[in-house]
A and B are shown apart, each in its own frame.
Chain A
């Protein structure tokens, strides 16, 4: 997003009030909140659904487990069979530990990479960092931003709404509205 307006709040409750005020004014597109920790309630107000990251993790885990089992079978049964005390080459119980470990390893790697990638990271610079005082968004301030793809934004109306909700500051960054 390229932010057009940003507002700073000093508590999660004030942030939620501010977001509700904007949504009530119909400002729902290209809107984002920046918080030092997860604030419960933001996702409901903005209509964000639960992350689907779990499905990626499931797929990666299954692929890792299946791949590990197939690899073990291929190297110990097909390509390099070794007779160990006359025991069967294809012995499923003995293949389970590595199958399990690889399923976990692949799933965990997928979880980390998708959490970073779906959050749009790594991206060391973002326009919001240019706003004075935004460095407190990871400490003790709660910010709301509306981007330039939002066409409903009305400068007078929405600034008043944000201030009524308890915004410490409302910053306009030029552009639309």
Chain B
């Protein structure tokens, strides 16, 4: 355990409030405007691609039998996995109490969770082909006299993802109420005071309010904790309940959960390194935080590596022709072999840097590594989905999947839309929990 402080210096309540609340009213910088414009343009691209998909149909995507699942499901699994590190940091580490380094970054990562889940939700919706019938997934007394078939994994997914989004949103808002009240009392303009005042619901920090707030916050954290495990487990059941070689594996739920947290921590780093610099938050996001996150990358990276090894071993040990071909021939040496080896490099080799304390504290290394891990984890889903499907049981139906420009446009568009929402969040919401940091600073200094 490192002894570095989680807060540098001895800032008092006034200084911390001014520093952390002012992120919502400091003037925009030119770089920020440029990034915002790019994200806005990509968001427009996303809407254009959605329009094309809905008007012309799923044929605009690269998927075709046997590759029934292509970019749509890869992107879904990738985005939803990213969200999990947010919940892991804010909920599981809160329940674990001792992890005081979570305080500075929990709201940031919760925001990341919310926006990542929004991107994730788009893909299965569009993949339905007729997204305007998406409400058929939910049980409602319809004039058709039919009901959803709940023994299939699809309604499980709908329940898991929508619950995950709503619980994350409620957890986020409950934590924000005291900080909205601070903004109501401190914002420079009357209009902002009114808007934040409404969002704060009239919070005044009375004994009764704190008394119920802290218990509800703890309970919501406790409730979000099993969601991290259940949502991605259910996503993995979509795969493992089929008979396809490369999917039909009992290791899938823990493998998916570890991969999700791994990729999520990588994206937290990708986002927080520039945000910390732009908003000058070196005193509340310290090297201690980066050290802890890099250690998480190392741990979850090893769980992922172990899972790859187990998959290979079980494929071989099964003695099944299809499994052996999939794991020992098709993935490492088949048509998509280059993707496999890039994935291994990004996910298993790059993370070994973080055995070194110096590397864990080098922000340039961390930033580049986090980008590589994001790529590696996207490729992992590509391996699982496209590579497995492209070589199924019948050689006559083998098929090489190539994404279309609509596929690539949708992926780029969700990246932009995510960036747009995240930048709005950084500008309008105190993304470092002010009340919690002030309390932590008191405890640290006492």
List A residues at the B interface (Cβ < 8 Å): 12, 32-38, 42-43, 46, 48, 50-51, 53-54, 57, 61, 71-72, 75-76, 79-80, 82, 84, 87, 91, 94-95, 97-98, 100-102, 104-105, 107-109, 111-112, 114-116, 118-126, 128-129, 135-140
Q: Which residues of A contact B166 (CB under 8 A)?
A: 105, 108-109
B160 touches A135 (CB 8 A): no
B207 touches A95 (CB 8 A): no
B230 touches A100 (CB 8 A): yes
Q: Which residues of B contact A112 (CB under 8 A)?
A: 170, 173-174, 216, 220
Interface size on B, residues (CB 8 A): 64
Find the residue from B150, B214, B220 having the highest chain A CB count within 10 A: B150
A107 touches B223 (CB 8 A): yes
Known contacts A37-B435, A128-B204, A138-B205; A76/B150 CB under 8 A = yes
Q: How far is the CB of A66 from chain B (nearest CB, A)?
A: 15
A139 touches B223 (CB 8 A): no
Q: How far is the CB of A67 from chain B (nearest CB, A)?
A: 11
A-B contact pairs, 23 of them (CB 8 A): A32-B208, A34-B205, A38-B210, A38-B213, A50-B211, A50-B215, A72-B150, A76-B151, A102-B159, A102-B163, A105-B166, A108-B170, A108-B223, A108-B224, A111-B223, A112-B173, A114-B212, A114-B216, A115-B216, A120-B206, A138-B178, A139-B13, A139-B17
A123 touches B202 (CB 8 A): yes
Complex partner residue of B148 from A75, A95, A139, CB under 8 angstroms: A75
Docked pose: A50 CA to B212 CA in angstroms: 8
| Shortest beta-carbon contacts, A-B, top 9 | A115-B216, A140-B13, A75-B147, A119-B209, A135-B185, A122-B201, A37-B439, A94-B151, A97-B156
Per the 8 Å Cβ criterion, residues 177-204 of B in contact with A are: 177-178, 181-182, 184-186, 197-198, 201-204
List B residues at the A interface (Cβ < 8 Å): 12-14, 17, 139, 145-152, 155-156, 159-160, 163, 166-167, 170-171, 173-174, 177-178, 181-182, 184-186, 197-198, 201-217, 219-220, 223-224, 226-227, 230, 234, 237, 435-436, 438-439, 442
Q: Which residues of B contact A72 (CB under 8 A)?
A: 150
Docked pose: A157 CA to B385 CA in angstroms: 76
A97 touches B204 (CB 8 A): no
Q: Which residues of A contact B182 (CB under 8 A)?
A: 36, 138-139
Docked pose: A59 CA to B170 CA in angstroms: 18
Known contacts A37-B438, A75-B139; A105/B208 CB under 8 A = no
B230 touches A140 (CB 8 A): no
B184 touches A138 (CB 8 A): yes
Q: How far is the CB of B141 from chain A (nearest CB, A)?
A: 9
Docked pose: A51 CA to B184 CA in angstroms: 27
Q: Which residues of B contact A94 (CB under 8 A)?
A: 150-151
Docked pose: A128 CA to B163 CA in angstroms: 38
A137 touches B204 (CB 8 A): yes
Q: Which residues of B contact A38 (CB under 8 A)?
A: 210, 213-214, 439
Q: How far is the CB of A129 from chain B (nearest CB, A)?
A: 7
B149 touches A51 (CB 8 A): no
A97 touches B13 (CB 8 A): no
A122 touches B155 (CB 8 A): no
B150 touches A95 (CB 8 A): yes
A12 touches B174 (CB 8 A): no
Q: Which residues of A contact B17 (CB under 8 A)?
A: 36, 139-140
B442 touches A12 (CB 8 A): yes
Docked pose: A156 CA to B240 CA in angstroms: 75
A104 touches B206 (CB 8 A): no
Q: How far is the CB of B320 from chain A (nearest CB, A)?
A: 22
Q: How far is the CB of A176 from chain B (nearest CB, A)?
A: 20
Q: Which residues of A contact B208 (CB under 8 A)?
A: 32, 48, 118-120
Docked pose: A163 CA to B385 CA in angstroms: 70
B213 touches A80 (CB 8 A): no
Q: How far is the CB of B267 from chain A (nearest CB, A)?
A: 24
Q: How far is the CB of B171 from chain A (nearest CB, A)?
A: 7
Complex partner residue of A84 from B149, B202, B213, B224, CB under 8 angstroms: B149
Complex partner residue of A48 from B14, B207, B213, CB under 8 angstroms: B207
Q: Which residues of B contact A107 (CB under 8 A)?
A: 219, 223
A32 touches B207 (CB 8 A): yes
A91 touches B151 (CB 8 A): yes
Docked pose: A125 CA to B202 CA in angstroms: 6
Q: Which residues of B contact A119 (CB under 8 A)?
A: 203, 206, 208-209, 212-213
Q: Which residues of B contact A114 (CB under 8 A)?
A: 212, 216
A37 touches B178 (CB 8 A): yes
Docked pose: A76 CA to B147 CA in angstroms: 7
Docked pose: A87 CA to B219 CA in angstroms: 38
Known contacts A75-B147, A84-B151, A101-B160; A136/B185 CB under 8 A = yes
Docked pose: A35 CA to B159 CA in angstroms: 39
Docked pose: A72 CA to B167 CA in angstroms: 22
A43 touches B207 (CB 8 A): yes
Docked pose: A38 CA to B178 CA in angstroms: 10
Q: How far is the CB of B211 from chain A (nearest CB, A)?
A: 5
Q: Which residues of A contact B436 (CB under 8 A)?
A: 37
Q: Which residues of B contact A79 (CB under 8 A)?
A: 147
Q: How far is the CB of A90 from chain B (nearest CB, A)?
A: 10
Docked pose: A105 CA to B158 CA in angstroms: 13
Q: Which residues of A contact B438 (CB under 8 A)?
A: 36-37, 140
A121 touches B201 (CB 8 A): yes
A97 touches B234 (CB 8 A): yes
Docked pose: A140 CA to B198 CA in angstroms: 21
Q: How far is the CB of B92 from chain A (nearest CB, A)?
A: 15
Q: How far is the CB of A93 from chain B (nearest CB, A)?
A: 9
Docked pose: A110 CA to B26 CA in angstroms: 36
Known contacts A37-B436, A112-B220, A137-B205; A104/B150 CB under 8 A = no
